[in-house]
């Protein structure tokens, strides 16, 4: 008999470059989707139409949708 259980954990990933979000403490995985997205948004990531973009891709605005480029 095993004392292990399966758990589902979530991480936030940039839609364009596929970089995973690590918070300032090095945490990558979160217990639910909302926690993963909120952690990324708190550190400068952008959510646009259900897609997350990392700060690097935000700075290189060519990867963002045209309407979102104008807002930044």
In the structure, what pLDDT confidence band is assigned to residue 65 with cuts at 50, 70 and 90? Answer: low
Q: Would you kindly state where each structural domain of the chain is located, as residue ranges?
A: 8-72
Model-level pTM? 0.74
Who contacts 22 (Cβ-Cβ below 8 Å, separation ≥6)? 28
In the structure, what pLDDT confidence band is assigned to residue 3 with cuts at 50, 70 and 90? Answer: confident
pLDDT of residue 25: 83
Q: What is the DSSP string of 10-27?
A: B--B-TTT-PBP--TT--
pLDDT, tens only, 37-60: 999 999 999 998 899 999 998 887
């Amino acid at each position: 008999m095993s004392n292990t259980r399966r758990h589902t954990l979530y991480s936030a990933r940039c839609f364009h470059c596929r970089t995973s979000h690590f918070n300032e403490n090095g945490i990558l995985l979160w217990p639910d989707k909302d926690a993963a997205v909120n952690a990324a948004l708190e550190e400068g990531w952008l959510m646009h139409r259900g897609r997350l973009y990392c700060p690097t891709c935000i700075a290189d605005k060519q990867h963002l949708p045209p309407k979102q480029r104008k807002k930044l």
